[in-house]
Amino acid sequence: MPPNVVSNARGKRGSPKQRAGGGASPLRGLWELLKSIAGALLIYLVVNTLLIAAYRIPSGSMIPTLLVGDWLFVNKLVYGPHIPFTTTSLPGYADPKRGEVIVFESPYQADNAPDYTPTLVKRMVGMPGDTLYMRKGLLYVNGIAQRQGFGVPNPAAMAGADAPDPAFDWQHKFELTQSRFGRPPAQPSHDNWGPLRIPTNHYMMLGDNRYESKDSRYWGLVPRENVRGRPIFVYYSYRADDSDRPLPFLTDIRWGRIGTRIH
């Protein structure tokens, strides 16, 4: 009797492993899982490095604009994303402007061990070519008085704040000894310094809460290559500084701040 051609064809279908009854290889399944995880990690790294990153506010230096416990989304593309572990940044589509809140890598801070160059967020108050000075705690930009970011300072915070400090000595390099704004003080202090001329590709950053902010007055001007991005909005916030509950990130959420845009 002639062989059944259809039956023979059906019996030969499938891979040798399938015909052996083994089904899909466990190693192949593991490999597919690893590829999926690697792809997800790659997408995360690209987004976090080039497009958007998250940042947490750890101090009150930017009150009332930003509060302790705010979590921000930061636009890293706007000024040009920085390539990690290098000194190179890709081109952005805008340059920092005076008055913007900016995320940046701090100049070296010898007294900030173990993180000597922390990532910070402050307001940019001085651009290249600007002349800045402060008298009795009031900031002047090109001779025009600027509104204090946090209104009237706490008198307790002001006590002793204007004492001379060697940390301000970096300013002597940028001081204008002859200008229409008067001579700089012999020893710069917290509330009385300048006039300073901001050089090319550098910015001056101050906190809105001037008496609770360690900023450019202490550690100097920020180079353009240190700029990392512009905060977009608050995506999460909780009372991290004044809560008496054990799990404030769950029980003391500031619902009203979620979605707040940063200006």
Determine the Cα–Cα distance for residues 259 and 263; give it in Å rounded to an integer: 13
Mean pLDDT of 219-225: 96
Q: Is 203 helix (H, G, I), strand (E, B) or coil?
A: strand
- Whether residue 173 lies in the annotated active site: no
- Whether residue 189 lies in the annotated active site: no
Mean pLDDT of 230-242: 94
Determine the Cα–Cα distance for residues 205 and 72; give it in Å rounded to an integer: 19
pLDDT tier for residue 69 given thresholds of 50, 70 and 90? very high
Structure confidence at residue 2 (pLDDT): 54
Tell me the per-residue pLDDT of 99-108, one tens digit each, with 9 for 90 and over. 999 999 999 9
pTM, entire model:
0.79
| Catalytic pick among 76, 106, 122, 213 | 122
Higher pLDDT, 250 or 46: 250
Q: In this structure, are strands 70-75 and 52-56 parallel, antiparallel, or unpaired?
A: antiparallel
Determine the Cα–Cα distance for residues 188 and 242; give it in Å rounded to an integer: 34
Q: Is the pLDDT of residue 8 over 60?
A: no
Q: In this structure, are strands 70-75 and 227-237 parallel, antiparallel, or unpaired?
A: antiparallel
Domain residue spans in the chain? 49-154+165-257
* Domain 49-154+165-257 belongs in CATH node 2.10.109.10: yes
Structure confidence at residue 42 (pLDDT): 64
Element counts in the chain: helices (H) and strands (E): 6, 11
Structure confidence at residue 53 (pLDDT): 84
| Catalytic pick among 61, 106, 216, 237 | 61
User: Contact 118/106 with Cβ under 8 angstroms?
Assistant: yes
Among candidate residues 148, 175, 171, 159, the one with its CA nearest the CA of residue 219: 171
User: Contact 70/60 with Cβ under 8 angstroms?
Assistant: no
Non-local CB neighbours of 50 within 8 Å, separated by 6+ positions: 76, 77, 81, 90
Q: Is the pLDDT of residue 178 over 70?
A: yes
- The backbone torsions φ and ψ at residue 262, rounded to the nearest 5 degrees and listed phi first, read -95, 125
Task: Give CA torsion, residues 50, 258, 57, 200, to 10 deg.
Answer: 50
Evaluated on CA atoms 24, 25, 31, 34, the torsion sign reads positive
Structure confidence at residue 122 (pLDDT): 97
* Alpha helices in 13-103, H assignment, sequence order: 16-19, 26-46
